[in-house]
């Protein structure tokens, strides 16, 4: 399809002014030549595209002219980690989920080299939503194992676009990890920011339930029914948490290139503790401002910008929140720098408020279901910790934080905790049944509520073993028998 632009739009696209993807500037004698039609933009010289693995992005294009841009990408079918203790056979572009980030500028002529590794078992292709042409390139790019296909196209429309495999069954290829993002910058480039990151959401469907260990095959029935076991950022649970969190400094402007591969679910993307200053809606030229949560459709994307005003930990989530805290759609930004009390003072007063009395509150549960657990296995301490880390990431991290440091004046620390280390049975009981009221941890008083956790005996044993063997705690190994014993007391 040929894109025809009127003169005013062409000026915005070609010269980087106005609102197109947030660019600004003015026409002068040094500005690039304006073309009525983007297809007429000439290229000068050939260059090889810089491709980056998530969450990294290539260098901004700046004011470079359109070029013959060579994109070299390899398809790899490989086994990787979907969650702690859970393995999955991914199909990938360049060995990553999502695949390598591609950065171009309007007018580039892309010479795309798609290579299918000879050890792969299946043919694959690529459909780039930035392409104006049959199948987005899929028609021209079907590649058998051990072969290479070269095809070409010209990028005409600025924006952030999804690419994915479109070999039948298309949904299965996407669900196995074959997707990524391609950015087409307007001539003149995007406005500079301090930090840029690449994030892409995807839903996964496995024969086993969430967290079930071992190599998990793809489940077509669950995929057709849109019953996702995992909804994750960048290919696996915990891809950007803890020591892999995205790092920024207070006062910096941050740009997120966020895609949603689906194949089924819409993303309600939100950063807890931040307001998006600008959002390029669906990755296009429409800019929305002062946004709390932005909807990203399956097969869509968004460019999100905000300034970080206060230090601390910010959670990136799909605000369909059970996906975040129970299926893996959670990441972290760690902001470092001086506190800004003009923006955020934190807690200035605390007290007790019990309009419904002091009883422990918990959601109604099926006690028989909670008590049931899988047949016991002889797990090593290391295996328990791996599985416990997974449970911690989806149930505990929001309150107690990735390193167990807790939240000052709100949630007590688990790291080097005298209260925790003094009584393991008490710790088990709190996880099983919850606790409210005042406690003292490491000399500081806390008055908050922990709700009862709906976990199996095995999950309780594993998560407590992980906690007790992390962050300078005493190394206790908690067994399922210990949990069963404590559960039976009520």
Annotated binding-site residue numbers for Cu cation: 124, 129, 164-165, 173, 178, 319
The secondary structure element, H or E, covering residue 196 is strand 195-204
Q: Are 465 and 420 in contact (CB under 8 A)?
A: no
User: Cβ atoms within 10 A of the Cβ of 475, count?
Assistant: 11
Structure tokens given for 321: 């929140």
Phi, psi of 110 (to 5 degrees): -90, 125
| 3-state DSSP of 306-370 | EECCCCEEEEEEECCHHHHHHHCCEEEEEEECCCCCCCCCCCCCCCCCCCCCCCCCCCCCCHHHH
Question: What's the rounded Cα separation, in Å, for the pair 486 and 480?
Answer: 10
**Dihedral of CA 277/280/286/292: which sign?**
negative
Structure tokens given for 186: 């307007």
DSSP letter string, 250-276: TT-EEEEEEEEEESSPPEEEEEET--E
Compute CA distances 311 → 238, 248, 344, 348, 402, whole Å: 21, 9, 9, 17, 16
- Strand locations in 63-173, DSSP E? 68-83, 86-93, 102-105, 109-116, 127-128, 148-154, 159-164
CA atoms within 13 A on the CB side of 261: 34
**Dihedral in degrees, nearest 10, Cα atoms 463, 415, 472, 81:** 40
Closest C-alpha to 180, from 120, 257, 290, 294:
257
Q: Are 88 and 206 in contact (CB under 8 A)?
A: yes
Instruction: Provide the residue count of the chain.
Output: 490
Residues annotated in a binding site: 124, 129, 164-165, 173, 178, 319
Q: Are 73 and 51 in contact (CB under 8 A)?
A: yes
Using a 10 angstrom Cβ sphere, with 0-12 exposed, 13-18 middle and 19 or more buried, the burial of residue 170 is middle
Q: Are 3 and 132 in contact (CB under 8 A)?
A: yes
Question: What's the rounded Cα separation, in Å, for the pair 163 and 131?
Answer: 10
């Amino acid at each position: 399809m040929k894109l025809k632009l009127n003169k005013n739009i062409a000026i915005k696209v070609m010269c980087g002014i106005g609102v197109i993807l947030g660019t600004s500037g003015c026409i002068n004698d040094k500005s690039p030549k304006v073309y009525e039609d983007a297809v007429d933009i000439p290229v000068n010289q050939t260059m090889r595209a810089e491709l980056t693995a998530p969450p990294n992005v290539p260098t901004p294009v700046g004011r470079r002219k359109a070029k013959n841009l060579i994109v070299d990408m390899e398809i790899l079918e490989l086994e990787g980690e979907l969650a702690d203790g859970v393995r999955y056979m991914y199909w990938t572009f360049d060995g990553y989920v999502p695949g390598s980030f591609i950065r171009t500028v309007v007018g580039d002529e892309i010479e795309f080299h798609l290579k299918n590794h000879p050890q792969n078992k299946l043919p694959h292709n690529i459909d780039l939503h930035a392409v104006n042409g049959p199948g987005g390139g899929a028609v021209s790019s079907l590649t058998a194992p051990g072969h290479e296909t070269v095809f070409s196209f010209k990028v005409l429309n600025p924006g952030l676009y999804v690419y994915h495999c479109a070999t039948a069954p298309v949904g299965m290829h996407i669900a196995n990890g074959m997707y990524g993002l391609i950015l087409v910058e307007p001539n003149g480039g995007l406005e500079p920011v301090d930090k840029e990151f690449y994030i892409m959401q995807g839903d996964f469907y496995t024969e086993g339930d969430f967290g079930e260990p071992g190599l998990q095959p793809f489940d077509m029935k669950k995929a057709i029914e849109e019953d996702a076991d995992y909804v994750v950022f960048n290919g696996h649970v915990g891809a950007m948490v803890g020591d892999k969190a995205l790092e920024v400094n207070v006062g910096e402007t941050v740009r997120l290139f966020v895609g949603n591969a689906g194949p089924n679910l819409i993303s309600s993307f939100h950063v807890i503790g931040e307001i998006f200053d600008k959002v390029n809606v669906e990755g296009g030229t429409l800019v929305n401002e002062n946004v709390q949560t932005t909807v990203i459709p399956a097969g869509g994307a968004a460019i999100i910008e905000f300034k970080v005003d206060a230090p601390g930990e910010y959670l990136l989530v799909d605000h369909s929140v059970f996906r975040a805290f129970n299926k893996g759609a959670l990441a972290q930004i760690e902001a470092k720098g001086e506190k800004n009390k003009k923006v955020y003072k934190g807690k200035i007063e605390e007290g007790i408020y019990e309009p419904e009395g002091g009883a422990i509150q918990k959601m109604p549960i099926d006690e028989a279901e909670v008590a049931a657990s899988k047949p016991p296995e002889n797990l090593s301490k290391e295996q328990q910790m791996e599985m416990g880390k997974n449970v911690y990431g989806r149930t505990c991290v929001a309150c107690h934080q990735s390193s167990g440091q807790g939240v000052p004046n709100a949630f007590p620390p688990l790291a080097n905790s005298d209260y925790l280390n003094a009584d393991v049975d008490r710790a088990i009981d709190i996880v099983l049944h919850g606790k409210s009221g005042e406690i003292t941890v490491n000399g500081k008083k806390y008055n908050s509520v922990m709700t009862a956790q709906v976990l199996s005996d095995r999950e309780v044993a594993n998560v407590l073993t992980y906690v007790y063997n992390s962050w300078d705690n005493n190394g206790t190994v908690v067994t399922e028998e210990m949990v069963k014993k404590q559960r039976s007391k009520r």
